[in-house]
Amino acid sequence: MVSELWTPEGVAGHTVTPAGHNAETGGVVQQHVFKVHDPVTGKRHKFCILIDDDTSQAHLEDMISSAVDRWLVEVRQKEHKPAPTPDQRKEIGSILNDIRKNRMKRAESSTGLVHFPGIGRVKNGRHRRTNNGTRPFRGSKGKNK
């Protein structure tokens, strides 16, 4: 099976546990768990790779190295995100202003929705309002009309 397994730099731990049986071949499936530490960003991650009995040691080492390399590239790109350009900052600022204005409009209404001038007007005698702008109470039997 797997003897001295080569792992890339940064792999801190390696454990192997049986994970079950392959339904097609009936072979044993093993779970290899690797703990990785990136010294540049200080982040840690745990990888899990499942292999069959017929998986070679070289193929397992390739899967481990490709997974670690992809993770390192992804983490380092996220860590070093470029600052927004002046045009992007203006766009972000205008979006935040729109959000702030709409939040203030919602705060002014009693329902938490943005007030539209067409709602609440008297149409054909419907939607009667009291002096404070609310609908009058209508009981279950049509009282207080």
* C-alpha 141: how far from chain center: 50
Per DSSP, the three-state class of 46 is strand
Residues 16-48 have pLDDT tens digits of: 888 888 888 888 899 989 899 888 888 888 989
Q: With a threshold of 0.85, does the pTM exceed it?
A: no
Residues 80-111 have pLDDT tens digits of: 777 789 999 999 999 999 999 888 877 776 66
For 65, phi then psi, to 5°, come to -65, -40
